[in-house]
Structure 1
Amino acid sequence: MRWRPLLCGATASLVLASAVTPAEAVEDGLTRAPGSVTFSVPRTFGAPGYQLRIDTGRLGVTASRGGDPLLRTAPDAFTFGGGVATGVRSVTKQNGTLVAVAGSTTGRTVTLRLTPKADRFDLRWSVDGEPEGDRATHFDLAASGQWYGGGETSEGKQQPYPLSAGAVDEPEFSPASYMMQEPYFYTSKSIGVYVRTDQPMKVALGGGRADLTVTKAGEYSSTVFVESSRRAVYDDYVGEVGKPEKSDATDAEFASPLWNSWAQYYRDIDQDKVLKWAGDLKAAKVTGHTIQLDDKWESNYGNLTFDAKTFPDPKSMVDSIHGTGQRFGLWTTFWINLDSANYAYARDHGYLVRAKGDPAKPCTVKWWNGTAGIIDLANEAARNWYTGNLRGLMSKYGVDGFKFDTRFFDDSCATSNGLTPRDYQKLGADMADGFDQQGAGIRTHWGNQRYGFVIRAVDADASWGGLRTSLRRSMAISGNGYPFVETDMIGGSNSNPPPSPEVLVRWAQAASLMPLMYSSTSPVSTVDTTTGKPVTYPAETAKHYADAVRTHAKLAGYLKTQVRQAVADGSPIMRPVFFDFPGDHRFDTIDDEWMLGPALLAAPKITEGTSRDVVLPAGLWWDPGAKRLVLGGGTLHGYPAPLGTTPMFVRIGAPGSASLIADLSR
């Protein structure tokens, strides 16, 4: 616990005269100079101190330390409904809050409130007489170094790393999004920006600026963390939104893979294929804890009944899976297609989310499987009906758990009972928390860290680029306070042709050095669903895949400790190297190395070839592959990484390092 005093002061006023005095003037902690007013936050135990400057020629804010800018707004700092804040009329200090009153291009008055504390400041602004709508704050990217956070960029888009290294355009950055997104960003200068809103946002980074827009807002409200390290910023954010109260996954689900049918067969699935797939995996010694049947097991989407044509005897299928020592699960959604028998029942009983502008009608949405209504989770009777159907499947067939897919809400629909899109996230999380999610987790976000769900990255291409993007997404999710992460299905799952043997193996190797492994494409054989032709992998593919599974199993004891730590204090398990080595800025842009807990540096090969450069942080490291000690602080050029090798290094002296070396040497 860091002791941090709050900063407050007596009410004082500093009115800006039309004729600016060249010399600086100090009044109650405010320093006035031509074009600016500055307030200094002193350094305290555990907090580095900073200065806040309000630019008065055109309203703007700069946070700095020792003359170095840490965060600076762009010239058009604050915009709303076609208007832009302009010159400042006055600055007052009221009970520890700096209040700047400015004009705007629309003639309305803009009021900015900054409340400084030892390690952060609240930044809020509003427009007098302006109806609720968009409120945007614009930042200069260069002043803050590199930008990270935010979560996943939209499916089908490349995920830049850092975000500021590419272009981000998310006009539907929302609590209702299918993407794992959080209104939180942090920078290489140890600044964090947490936007406080329950409504959708618009987020854009590029062209040297970051534009963070809240919608349906009367006030823009945010907290800016000002720290000496990025890990400290993370801790501040988790302190605001909450840490996991438990791990939703079991020890077994951390220790071995979940096998889900989606990328193996997509929708061309039946009972015989499921049993052959499971049998081939067992023969290749790449089994896991669960076999999970994904999309297209239902008679129609939303019916929650097996399709009798393709699954004539579901009970015997489930019994066969149980006979291998594995559990069985089903994919399910909250969306009911209009041609489903359950749609009419749900509609007639008022169980569906309502349409905007016409509460007498259900809202209809288009998704990847047709047109549907959405179960209204705000309706207790609807929730009970839906969960009753799920429990019926468990009772009748022996189903052990579920993969919950799609979203809990859609922004095109109307909420019920005055709830917000963020409220629907919580309702969905509460409902899903009553079932075993089998390591597939659920895509719930926007402040739902406390549930401790496993979080899977969104669908990625079955390619080298898909592997890199999925790792970037996993890192972003973990850095947002969700420590129990996994990539998309190993090998990718974006309805592409199957991955090459090399992509499949390298993906499995990378996933083996993460908290959980989420598998689908069999390393024995699969089907190219774009052509309908079978694909058989070379025998070494299954061997290398099985080796990756065994490597992950060796980490089980270490991961168990990291899970306990995450529940204790919110520590991310998979994290950027700079979280543990804050002064090593070589890692600001490295996306193919990460720390797994405090003792293991993961450096898997995620591109073509048989070698890679490995950047090692300072310290002494154990190389399990070469069985040798390596002095860190430099770069291992051309480190050998043939297909069967997964580069990793154990940090000597770090918590858990001794047992980790012993386990990896088995």
Structure 2
Amino acid sequence: MTITVLQKKPGEFWWGGVINEGHLMPFGDRPHSRDLRMTDDNQASPLLLSNLGRYIWCEEPFAFSFNESNLTIDHKQKLIIEEGHETLQDAYRHACNIHFPPSGVTPDKLAFTAPQYCTWVEMFYEPTQEKLLNYATSIIRHGMPPGVLIIDDNWMQDYGTWDFDKHRFPDPAGMIHSLHELGFKVMLWVCPYVSPDSIIFRQLRDHGILMKHADGAPVLRRWWNGYSAVVDYTSTEGSTWFKQQLDRLIEDYGVDGFKLDAGEPLLPDLMDDITQDVAWSRPVHPLEDCESYARLGIGYPLSELRMCWKLGGQALIQRQRDKTHTWEAATGLQGLIPNSITQGLMGYAYNCPDMVGGGMDGDINSPDFRFDSELFIRFVQCSALFPAMQFSMAPWRVLNGDELAWCMDVIQIRTELGSLLSELASQAAEDGLPILRSLEFVFPHQGFHSVQDQFMVGESILVAPVLNKGQVTRKIQFPSGRWLGDDESVVEGPSEVEVSAPLSRLPWYRKI
């Protein structure tokens, strides 16, 4: 290993590494350390970017730490240190063009012009054809626009047996045709795991498609649904087999895309009771298995990932890791903006917060379920102008009266600005620029580096949601220019203004 030490410049701050640490960024004003070689935490990239125009890139993961005066990098492969780009945006543009150039392709534009609707919270492990069609018609009946409908876990016969369970989905092709006629696109949840007592397990084992230990025994990995074998998607045979399953679902049923869940790298200290390392079919670089899994989504009109290593610039929707039904920054609402800012800076322009309100560990139908309607509405407001937004808990199931109306008002804002989001998605495919941007990215060297509770949509829309319980006013940092508010007010910047932000309002402003 090689140790490289950079002296921090006065007023210099840094972003990058692991997306889920966005709430701790920018780095530089307090001690912080991270080893990217051992990460299994949402998207990550071997990139650090400075507001003074410097960036650091390495083709393999590295460890880094900040103290009062220095940035220390512990790396194995060659470290690229670029200087002289003046601003955060300049550094990003250069890093993007060299290391993760945009693909020229966007996901299906419906992902930007309308919300996504996931079945998880409404149905958990019990989706059925009847429930799906009722859910879709309820979305429209309650005045919400049709969008991408994600059929989550347990639609299939078994893990690794990627075909519809015919008892719960007697006519999947007819169901998807009906959903298309209603205006929806359909994604299916998939994962890289294979149930070890299934017929497909024995077939894949015999064909050498599963990950193995050195003694030839298949790896059985513990995950949130038990223990499963794992498709070796780092091998040509494994990735080819997996994509054949996806392609068949498209051809047979008209599916539009896939939610590729899991995909965490297999790291020695994260393999639970597995005592042997994986014997890969070829030499694999650190975290390359995570990258290989994410690559399986490339080429489909709709692919959503929770885990990714590198691959900035690709037409992949990158969802933040599961959020809790809380206000806090580490796992809840307050982490959405800083994490999304970091996603954009790592080249993941088509980013999505978690399901509105969080993944809801409890059962919505249980009498013990505890729901915070204020949090849910603020979650809707915060998510509404992200590149993609996703519902899972149906708003009409938990809100009524004014609260439901306020939620619908925010969805209308997204509908009105959908064409802008779509245009910015097309721009990102050509120049790699984020859709959701920090104020520092758009207005450099004006003291906005620490602003983590506001964001820009492109160059002209400033969004400042409320992120604290009980708060009905908030201070907004306005950059130079004239800003027309959603409430018809006009603000002259640069200035800091306290604005009214009752639960009925998402404060947003257009530069005029």
TM above 0.5, yes or no, is yes
Match of 1:192 among 43, 52, 55: 55
Change (3 A) 1:400 1:190: closer
Change (3 A) 1:498 1:518: farther
User: In the alignment, which residue of structure 2 is the partner of 1:523?
Assistant: 395
Match of 1:302 among 160, 177, 192: 160
1:514 equivalenced with 2:386 (yes/no)? yes
Change (3 A) 1:319 1:276: same
User: In the alignment, which residue of structure 2 is the partner of 1:116?
Assistant: none
CA contact 1:151–1:480 (8 Å) conserved in 2 = no
User: In the alignment, which residue of structure 2 is the partner of 1:162?
Assistant: 26
CA contact 2:264–2:307 (8 Å) conserved in 1 = no
User: In the alignment, which residue of structure 2 is the partner of 1:256?
Assistant: 114
1:557-568 matched pairs, under 5 angstroms: 557-568=419-430
Q: Give the partner amino acid of 2:132.
A: V
User: In the alignment, which residue of structure 1 is the partner of 2:343?
Assistant: 477
SS at match of 2:197: coil
Q: Distance in 1 between matches of 2:455 and 2:70?
A: 27
Q: How many residues align?
A: 493
Match of 2:497 among 607, 615, 636: 636
If asked which structure has higher relative contact order (CA below 8 Å, sep 6+), I would say 2
Q: Distance in 1 between matches of 2:375 and 2:199?
A: 41
SS at match of 1:482: coil
1:486-525 matched pairs, under 5 angstroms: 486-493=352-359, 495=361, 499-525=371-397
User: In the alignment, which residue of structure 1 is the partner of 2:242?
Assistant: 386
Q: Distance in 2 between matches of 1:578 and 1:267?
A: 42
Q: Distance in 1 between matches of 2:212 and 2:460?
A: 51
Mind listing any 5+ residue stretches in structure 2 that lack a counterpart?
Answer: 269-277, 363-368
User: In the alignment, which residue of structure 2 is the partner of 1:582?
Assistant: 444
* 1:336-380 deviations in Å (ceiling 9; x for gaps): 23233322221111001232x43x233332221222222122433
Mind listing any 5+ residue stretches in structure 1 that lack a counterpart?
Answer: 1-133, 526-535, 653-666
User: In the alignment, which residue of structure 2 is the partner of 1:291?
Assistant: 149
Change (3 A) 1:584 1:607: same
CA contact 1:249–1:453 (8 Å) conserved in 2 = yes
Q: Distance in 2 between matches of 1:288 and 1:390?
A: 24
Larger Rg: 1
Match of 1:146 among 1, 7, 13: 13
CA shift, 1:596, in A, is 0.9
CA contact 1:136–1:220 (8 Å) conserved in 2 = no
User: In the alignment, which residue of structure 1 is the partner of 2:365?
Assistant: none
1:243 equivalenced with 2:116 (yes/no)? no
* 1:131-170 deviations in Å (ceiling 9; x for gaps): xxx444455668563332223237xxx8313244677554
* 1:6-29 deviations in Å (ceiling 9; x for gaps): xxxxxxxxxxxxxxxxxxxxxxxx
User: In the alignment, which residue of structure 1 is the partner of 2:309?
Assistant: 445
Q: Distance in 1 between matches of 2:202 and 2:260?
A: 22
CA contact 1:153–1:168 (8 Å) conserved in 2 = no
CA contact 1:442–1:453 (8 Å) conserved in 2 = no
Higher strand proportion, which one? Answer: 1
CA shift, 1:180, in A, is 0.7
CA contact 2:51–2:444 (8 Å) conserved in 1 = no
Give identity over the alignment, percent.
23
CA shift, 1:250, in A, is 2.1
* 1:84-130 deviations in Å (ceiling 9; x for gaps): xxxxxxxxxxxxxxxxxxxxxxxxxxxxxxxxxxxxxxxxxxxxxxx
Q: Distance in 2 between matches of 1:165 and 1:287?
A: 44
CA shift, 1:238, in A, is 1.0
Match of 1:321 among 179, 188, 195: 179
1:401 equivalenced with 2:261 (yes/no)? no
Q: Distance in 1 between matches of 2:68 and 2:323?
A: 26
Higher helix proportion, which one? Answer: 2
Q: Distance in 2 between matches of 1:265 and 1:248?
A: 30
Q: Distance in 2 between matches of 1:416 and 1:207?
A: 44
SS at match of 1:495: coil
CA shift, 1:312, in A, is 5.0
User: In the alignment, which residue of structure 2 is the partner of 1:548?
Assistant: 410
Match of 2:232 among 376, 383, 389: 376
Moved more, 183-192 or 308-317: 308-317
CA contact 1:284–1:542 (8 Å) conserved in 2 = no
Change (3 A) 1:309 1:185: same
CA shift, 1:389, in A, is 2.4
Q: Give the partner amino acid of 1:507.
A: F
Q: Distance in 2 between matches of 1:519 and 1:237?
A: 33
CA shift, 1:236, in A, is 2.0
Change (3 A) 1:204 1:540: farther
Give the CA RMSD over aligned residues: 2.8
Moved more, 605-614 or 536-545: 536-545
* 1:252-278 deviations in Å (ceiling 9; x for gaps): 221001111123343354444434433
Q: Distance in 1 between matches of 2:360 and 2:44?
A: 20
Which TM-score applies when normalising by structure 2? 0.87
Q: Distance in 1 between matches of 2:2 and 2:197?
A: 41
Q: Give the partner amino acid of 2:446.
A: D
User: In the alignment, which residue of structure 1 is the partner of 2:195?
Assistant: 337
Q: Distance in 1 between matches of 2:91 and 2:280?
A: 33
User: In the alignment, which residue of structure 2 is the partner of 1:180?
Assistant: 43
Q: Distance in 1 between matches of 2:11 and 2:210?
A: 45
